[in-house]
Amino acid sequence: MNLERIFSTNDVKSQDRFGLWREICEDRLVPMDQSRLNDQAFDAVIEGTSVGGMSFTQFGLSNLKCATNSRTIRHQNNRTDKLFLSLVLSGTVSSEQNGHSTTDRPGDLSIRDTNSPWRIEHGNRSDVLAIEIPRDRLENQLGAARHFAGLTMDGSRPVTILARSYFRNLMSVGHRLTPHAAERMTSIGIDLVAASLAERMALETPKALHGTLTVQRAKAYVATHLGDPGLDVSQVAVAVGVSLRQLQALFREHGRNVTAWIWHQRLERAAKRLSDPACLHVQLGELAHGCGFASQAHFSRRFRDRYGLSPRDYRHSALSQTAARMS
């Protein structure tokens, strides 16, 4: 993997190890109250990299307990706009958040919410990969983080295996990707996490909330397959295990027409890419196809209806505004 060594206790005097570790953790992740579980020596290693603006931090450590609370959450260094995906690589990690007490084992995934208290313990040696994810990317698909933060996604489940393998492979090749490709690849990874979380939430959600969860799972599926021009409502219904009529009814309960919502998501993704300087080299036809439009003409017609400008004019206007703000 393309990881850079950030910290190792081997390079630090024993009396300074824990203090320096805490400083680096606060800078790399979030402020936490940390202490050793016993009087044994504290050893730790931190390595990291970034892909498409997403930070990956790998820890190897033991003999540590840490927690966030109201004081650390209010700290100026707290990243309130981020969530952290935790992947256990070796050993076990005990954690608690939002009433969920778990012991995560190798291959398991879980989400830590920076805006609510958590407790984590590393007894014996464990290696953990922490991935920083924009909060809004998951909450827009699954609802507030309190519904899924603290849940463990079993590492043996197929979608979790896909998400885990995807991110580890992405770390290996990320340095070879263009900025545009790296951003697209990290976005796909986040969609895989959302799909795994939706599957996990379905295991314990009360029946009264199943309708809401089905809609959330449908949204996660759409986000993952948005670039497929053949994506339609029937395909989404099959993917989430309900009838076409039931899926349409569930979306209506949330004030949406499912077909219109899919097109809205495609247009929003297209508008975002048109506004991104990193995507300036992408031809309009390629961009249209990547957002699930069968042809550039179809894309241009729908885009103009939605935004009042052609895709080319929209791109020019958005990039001109960006340039003006930076000058």
Q: What would the DSSP string read from start to end of 31-88? A: --EEE-SSSSPP-EEEEEEEETTEEEEEEEE-SEEEE--HHHHTSTT--TTEEEEEEE
**216-272 tens-digit pLDDT:** 888 888 988 998 888 999 999 988 888 888 888 888 877 788 999 999 999 999 999
The percent of residues in the chain predicted with pLDDT above 70, rounded, is: 97
Q: How confident is the model at residue 31 (pLDDT cuts 50, 70, 90)?
A: confident
Residue 1 in this model has a pLDDT that exceeds 70? no
Q: How confident is the model at residue 208 (pLDDT cuts 50, 70, 90)?
A: very low
Res 146: pLDDT: 87
pTM: 0.66
Considering 157, 175, 193, which residue would you say is the last residue of a domain?
175
Q: Are 132 and 55 in contact (CB under 8 A)?
A: yes
CA nearest neighbour of 145 among 159, 130, 131, 134: 134
Domain of residue 267, CATH code: 1.10.10.60
Are 262 and 311 within one domain? yes
Looking at 102-243, list the stretches that DSSP marks H as alpha helix, in order from N- to C-terminal side: 135-142, 158-173, 179-201, 210-225, 233-240
Exposure string of 18-41, with b = 16+ CB inside 10 Å and e = fewer, is beebbeebbebbbbbeeeeeeeee
When pLDDT is averaged across residues 321-327 and rounded to a whole number, the result is 72
Please report which confidence band the pLDDT of residue 201 belongs to, taking 50, 70 and 90 as the band edges: confident
Confirm whether 140 is domain-assigned.
yes
| 11: Cβ contacts below 8 Å, ≥ 6 apart | none
Cβ neighbours, 10 Å, residue 148? 25
Per-residue model confidence (pLDDT) at position 30: 84
Closest by CA to 127, choosing from 68, 87, 74, is 87
Q: Which of 135, 159, 175 is the last residue of a domain?
A: 175
Q: How far is CA 135 from CA 175, 193, 200, 203, 315, in A?
A: 24, 12, 18, 23, 26
pLDDT over threshold 60, residue 14: yes
Q: How many domains does the chain have?
A: 2
Cα gap 71→10, rounded to integer Å: 31
The answer on pLDDT for 197 being more than 80 is yes
The reply to whether 200 falls in a domain is: no
CATH code at 35?
2.60.120.10
Q: Do 21 and 151 reside in the same domain of the chain?
A: yes
Task: Say how far apart CA 261 and CA 282 lie, in whole Å.
Answer: 25
Q: Residue 303: pLDDT band by 50, 70, 90 thresholds?
A: very high
121-152 per-position pLDDT tens digit? 998 889 999 999 999 989 888 888 988 999 99
Both 43 and 157 in a single domain?
yes
Residue 312 has pLDDT above 70, yes or no: yes
Identify whether 94 is part of a domain. yes
d(Cα 163, Cα 195) in Å, to the nearest integer?
A: 9
Instruction: Specify whether 92 is located in the same domain as 14.
Output: yes
In terms of Cα–Cα distance, which of 150, 124, 127, 113 is closest to 57? 127
Worst-scoring range by mean pLDDT, 167-176, 197-206, 250-259?
A: 197-206
- With a cut of 70, say whether residue 177 has pLDDT above it: yes
Please tell me whether residues 18 and 162 are part of one structural domain: yes
- In this structure, what DSSP letter does residue 12 have? S
> Which residues constitute the domain of residue 316?
205-327
Asked if 166 and 214 sit in the same domain, the reply is: no
pLDDT band at 326; cut points 50, 70, 90: low
Position 207 pLDDT exceeds 80 = no
Q: Which residues pair with 66 in a beta bridge?
A: 34, 120
